[in-house]
C-alpha cells in the first residue's frame, strides 16, 4: 500500500504539472495569456498630461482640421476617441491601415500620434495609404509614448468621454480587435 502510494505520488505530480502546462499553452493560443505582454498600467486611469505639436497635412485646413496642437486635456472632450500611435517607418502600421480607414469611414473618431517620425515622411505615408485620423500630434522625441507605456508602434488606446483609458491594444489592429474597439466605443459613447 505504502509502496504503491510512493510510486503514484511522482506520477500524480507529473500529471498535475502537465495539466497546468497544457492550460497555459491553451491560454497562450487564445491570447488570454501572453508571457511577453507588457501590462497596460493606464487602464481605468486618465491619460497622462502631454502637449504635442500638431501635424498639418495638405488639405487638412480645408477639411476643417488645421494643424492643431494635441494635448492630454483634448482627449477628455466629451466623446470617446481611439488614439493610435503610428509611424511611417513601421510595417505593421501599413498592415493595420485598412482597418483604421474602415473605422474612420464608419464615423469613429480616430486621432493619431506620429511616433519618432519626420513630418514629410508622415505626410507621404498618409498620402500613400490613406489618412484615417482627424487630428494628429507629433511625438518626435517619443517621450509621450513612454508616458502612455507604449513599447513600440502601432498601439491603440480607447479613451472615454472623460479622458480615461478603457481599452488598449499593442500591435497591429486585427479585424477582431477593430470590432472589439468599435463595440467598446459604442458602449462608452
> Which residues of this protein are in contact with other proteins, per CB under 8 A?
36, 38-39, 41, 116, 141-143, 146-149, 151-152
Dmax over Cα atoms in the chain, in whole Å?
Answer: 87
Specify the residue, 1 or 186, whose C-beta has the smaller distance to other proteins: 1
Specify the residue, 38 or 63, whose C-beta has the smaller distance to other proteins: 38
Q: How far is the CB of 151 from other proteins (least distance, A)?
A: 4
Distance CA 178, CA 37 (A): 19
Smallest Cα–Cα separation from 85: which of 160, 130, 148, 22?
Answer: 148
Specify the residue, 9 or 124, whose C-beta has the smaller distance to other proteins: 9
Query: Which residues are within 8 A (CB) of 28 and not within 5 positions of it... i.e. 6 or more apart?
Result: 34, 35
Q: How far is the CB of 5 from other proteins (least distance, A)?
A: 12
Specify the residue, 104 or 166, whose C-beta has the smaller distance to other proteins: 166
Q: How far is the CB of 114 from other proteins (least distance, A)?
A: 15
Q: How far is the CB of 24 from other proteins (least distance, A)?
A: 14
List the helix and strand counts (H, then E) for the chain. 5, 7
Distance CA 108, CA 185 (A): 8
Amino acid at each position: 500500500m505504502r509502496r504503491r502510494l510512493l510510486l503514484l505520488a511522482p506520477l500524480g505530480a507529473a500529471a498535475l504539472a502537465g495539466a497546468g502546462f497544457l492550460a497555459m499553452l491553451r491560454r497562450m493560443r487564445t491570447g488570454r495569456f501572453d508571457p511577453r505582454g507588457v501590462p497596460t498600467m493606464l487602464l481605468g486611469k486618465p491619460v497622462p498630461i502631454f502637449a504635442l505639436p500638431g501635424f498639418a497635412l495638405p488639405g487638412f485646413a480645408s477639411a476643417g482640421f488645421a494643424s492643431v496642437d494635441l494635448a492630454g486635456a483634448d482627449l477628455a472632450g466629451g466623446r470617446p476617441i481611439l488614439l493610435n500611435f503610428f509611424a511611417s517607418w513601421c510595417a505593421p502600421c501599413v498592415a493595420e491601415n485598412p482597418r483604421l480607414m474602415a473605422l474612420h469611414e464608419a464615423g469613429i473618431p480616430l486621432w493619431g500620434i506620429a511616433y519618432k517620425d519626420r513630418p514629410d515622411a508622415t505626410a507621404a505615408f498618409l498620402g500613400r495609404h490613406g489618412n484615417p485620423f482627424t487630428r494628429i500630434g507629433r511625438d518626435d522625441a517619443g517621450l509621450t509614448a513612454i508616458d502612455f507605456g507604449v513599447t513600440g508602434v502601432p498601439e491603440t488606446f480607447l479613451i472615454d468621454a472623460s479622458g480615461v483609458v478603457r481599452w488598449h491594444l499593442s500591435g497591429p489592429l486585427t479585424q477582431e480587435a477593430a470590432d472589439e474597439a468599435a463595440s467598446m466605443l459604442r458602449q462608452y459613447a
